[in-house]
Amino acid sequence: MTKQLYVIAAVCLWLLSACQSSTYKYEAVYKDLPFDMPRVEAPKFPDRKVNLADFGAVGNGEELCTAAFAKAIDTLAEKGGGHLIVPAGVWFTGPIVLKSNIDLHLEKGAVILFSPDVDLYPLVETVFEGLDTRRCQSPVSGRNLENVAITGEGAIDGNGHYWRPLKREKVTEGVWKQTIARGGVYKRPTYWFPYPQTLKGDTISNMNVPQNLKTEEEWQSVRHFLRPVMVSLIECKNVWLQGVIFQNSPAWNLHPLMCENVLIEEVQVRNPSYAQNGDGLDLESCKNALIVNSTFDVGDDGICLKSGKDEDGRRRGRVCENVVVDGCTVFKGHGGFVVGSEMSGGVRNVSVSNCQFLGTDVGLRFKSKRGRGGVVENIWIRNIAMMDIPTEPITFNLYYGGKSAVEVLESGEKVPAKVEPLPVDETTPCFRNI
């Protein structure tokens, strides 16, 4: 009898385990994963809903809804969280600051359209391209949050074309004429900037970071140059982006930084092919991230892993680790799946599978340079379909100078046959086990 009870108990435990595993939506993605990684799940939110329109917002694309968004989020947060419902309509707004335990849910037909008025976006301390710096506040931001989501069937538009400079050779005659009709200034006849301050910032910058700014007045003088990423989530835990279209960002589109447990599923990330710094997803120094069944069509790298740049990145010491990318499609972009060039904190334990890269400059792009340091290791890539790749399916460029692979190809730029030998130290980047 005791033996029979033992067998029955064992069978029950096995059935319970099987049922639990089968209920996880992405169990097949985790099958045969070559490293240990916890299941990344969507966060749970209180069953509480508020409607943006109930806080005085008008979805006509003209009236500013910034105060209504803030009031709705504060109200939900004070009650312990829930879902902020954005109904169909065009909701014109300044920056939105998220809080813990809140799901920003866009219903079908809803568009959150951000104002191009730079004065609405104050300068804030942040990280851009791996360096500690200042930029304009992001249209959507959150810092030190738990359980935060942007979900639904609507779209978020950053009005990025009002922020970005434009190179004549990247666009049609019609787009060029339409753009320069807004005014602006020129660095040269074929390089347009929307504001004099934007041009000034470009002139004094090294790789998008202004140099030698000491006073607040000096920073404010180049404020228009300091384009923000559209969605900035810093030091957040349990992040969920699902179903929404993210498009037309001032700089990068999605930038989770130093976050843990990140689920990105079924999103569309779009920028014009000519969008300067128009990356799709830059996952930086994050731990446990699952990116699945999403589409990217952008002006720079599609899906990119980073971990800080040079001394700032090494000092931060936050590895980007335990990342799974599956079932994603990248159309235009400098690279389909990319690591670097800011990888000074290291990147490890990454699986990329069952993806399509259709028309990206490069399929798989690894980039760094001397001075970065950092170790990129344990990267598994399989079942990638590539088509219409104008340069190479796979590139390792450890002399990266800021140009896309197409720009390097067209310029005829070559790595010198003889490179000065230097000792290996903490500034030497390392790529291994790929």
- Cis preceding linkage at 341, omega within 30: yes
Q: 173 and 251: one domain? A: no
With a cut of 80, say whether residue 109 has pLDDT above it: yes
Predicted confidence (pLDDT) per residue in 279-327, tens digit = 999 999 999 999 999 999 998 999 999 999 999 999 999 999 999 999 9
Amino acid at 266: E
Q: For position 205, what pLDDT does the model report?
A: 92
In a domain, 27, yes or no: no
Number of domains making up the chain: 2
Q: 348 and 271: one domain? A: yes
Question: What is the average pLDDT score of the chain?
Answer: 94
Across 106-122, b (16+ Cβ under 10 Å) vs e yields beeebbbbbbeebebbe
With a cut of 90, say whether residue 56 has pLDDT above it: yes
With a cut of 70, say whether residue 399 has pLDDT above it: yes
In a domain, 29, yes or no: no
In a domain, 44, yes or no: no
The stretch 390-413 carries a mean pLDDT of: 90
Q: 96 and 190: one domain? A: no
Q: 122 and 214: one domain? A: no
| Vertex 272: Cα angle to 191 and 354 (nearest 5) | 135
Q: What is the DSSP letter of 224?
A: G
Predicted confidence (pLDDT) per residue in 235-252, tens digit = 999 999 999 999 999 999
Predicted confidence (pLDDT) per residue in 62-97, tens digit = 999 999 999 999 999 999 999 999 999 999 999 999
In a domain, 389, yes or no: yes
Under 8 Å between Cβ of 335 and 308: no
In a domain, 139, yes or no: yes
With a cut of 60, say whether residue 19 has pLDDT above it: no
Q: 321 and 172: one domain? A: no
SS3 label, residue 9? helix
Q: 149 and 187: one domain? A: no
Residue ending a domain, choose from 207, 226, 245: 226
Q: For position 10, what pLDDT does the model report?
A: 53
Q: 207 and 349: one domain? A: no
- The pair of three-digit structure tokens given for residue 63, joined into one six-digit string: 């009236």
Q: 295 and 403: one domain? A: yes
Quickly state the pLDDT bin for 120 (edges 50, 70, 90).
very high
- For the question of whether the overall pTM of this predicted structure is more than 0.85, the answer is yes
Predicted confidence (pLDDT) per residue in 253-292, tens digit = 999 999 999 999 999 999 999 999 999 999 999 999 999 9
Cα–Cα distances in Å, from 377 out to 212, 320, 321, 366, 380?
Answer: 35, 11, 10, 12, 9
In a domain, 176, yes or no: yes
Under 8 Å between Cβ of 342 and 372: yes
Q: 98 and 215: one domain? A: no
DSSP string for residues in 77-114: HHTT-EEEEE-SEEEEES-EE--TTEEEEEPTTEEEEE
Give the domain extent around 347. Answer: 49-164+227-432
Residue ending a domain, choose from 205, 226, 247: 226
In a domain, 17, yes or no: no
